[in-house]
Structure 1
Amino acid sequence: MTNLVGYARVSKRDQNPAAQEAELRAAGAARVFVDHGESSRVAERPQWLACLDYLREGDTLIVRRLDRIAGSETMAIQTISELH
């Protein structure tokens, strides 16, 4: 059974991730992990790590945009490769 899992991130604490979270839920995400005030260039974001720990084989990760999970092209390629 495929589980849709969402991940949202805002880089500043005063930003509101509600729009990202709403889009992910509207797309069918049953669970959404949200990092507040975390740079995409930092791989060890608390909720990102929790999301990765939560994901199981067959699950689908959904994000609003690729820059929510990766701060550079190299990081994006590495992350996608690891998720695959």
Structure 2
Amino acid sequence: MFKVSVYVTPKQGVADPQGAVIERALPALGHQGVSGVRVGRYLTLNVPGDDIDQVQEAVDDMCRRLLANPIIEDYRFEISPAGEGA
């Protein structure tokens, strides 16, 4: 079993309305000069398997087909044995 962390973010050049709203609101909270705010998703999965290469292929397939929209989003993931920090 492997623990997988998946990070999905809008591609550069794709509008990010949530990020824009947060960026505009930060000065009102006393945080001046913050820029480049991007809002994405963070997912955790427990994926069965003994072979990390097979798990990597499976997670990449999940990301391309369901977890991210590859046309407008980028994704990356980290895999670790489920016993570590699970």
- TM-score w.r.t. the length of structure 1 is 0.31
- Of structures 1 and 2, the one with the larger relative CO (CA 8 A, separation 6+) is 2
- TM-score w.r.t. the length of structure 2 is 0.31
Higher helix share: 1
**Structure of larger gyration radius:** 2
Higher strand share: 2
